Amino acid sequence: MNMIRPRASLNAMLAAIDEACRTPLEGREVRVADAMAPFLDDPELLADVSCPECPDHYIRHLLHEGEDYGVVALVWRPGQMSPVHAHKSWCAFGMHRGIMTEHYYAPGEPPRLTAAHLRLPGDVSHGPARDDLIHRLANCCSETAVSIHVYGLAYEKFATDLNLILA
């Protein structure tokens, strides 16, 4: 009988991310996005990981913490969205389940919407730390969505040193 090991896909993805995070800082977000992409649409990726929803806002669940980066699963109920923000660190994210809309904005008071892209399971997006690379993620669909995010700083700093909230 062939039995699938729990977390095999997640462990393989985390190992690939870890390897990508040991590369030079310039372009790391691209290599991390490429490393996670082959695993994102595996329905078993988070099969034995507890990632409960929150009724009031999206919620982060720590999956792994490296020396200078953190990997989290974000759970988005229908209608939940991030604030309009830029990142103070490099970042890469990919869709595991559901569909999200990534909105892009031009700097200004207030920031001006310039584009929107649907992110489907298996899709990735990434960006360097830049205060003029402004976006918002939103679950505009009727089903819960789960995205995997990797940020270039320790998880304990996510609440204070990750996002530059703009609107």
The domain of 146 spans 8-165
| Counted domains in the chain | 1
Q: Is residue 119 part of a domain?
A: yes
Has 96 been labeled as part of a binding site? no
Tokens 């700093």, residue located:
157
Q: Is residue 26 part of a domain?
A: yes
The answer to whether 44 touches 125, Cβ cutoff 8 Å, is no
pLDDT interval class at 78 (50, 70, 90): very high
The answer to whether residue 84 scores a pLDDT higher than 50 is yes
Q: Is residue 143 part of a domain?
A: yes
Residue 64's SS3 state is strand
Q: Is residue 2 part of a domain?
A: no
pTM to 2 decimals? Answer: 0.92
The pair phi, psi for residue 69, each rounded to 5°, is: -160, 160
Q: What is the CATH number of the domain that holds 81?
A: 2.60.120.10
Report d(CA 83, CA 137) in Å as an integer: 8
Q: Is residue 48 part of a domain?
A: yes
DSSP state of 81: B
Has 61 been labeled as part of a binding site? no
Q: Is residue 3 part of a domain?
A: no
Q: Is residue 155 part of a domain?
A: yes
Q: Provide the angle, in degrees to the nearest 10, between the axes of the packed helices 8-21 and 28-36.
A: 170
Interval 86-117: pLDDT, tens: 999 999 999 999 999 999 999 999 999 999 99
Q: Is residue 111 part of a domain?
A: yes
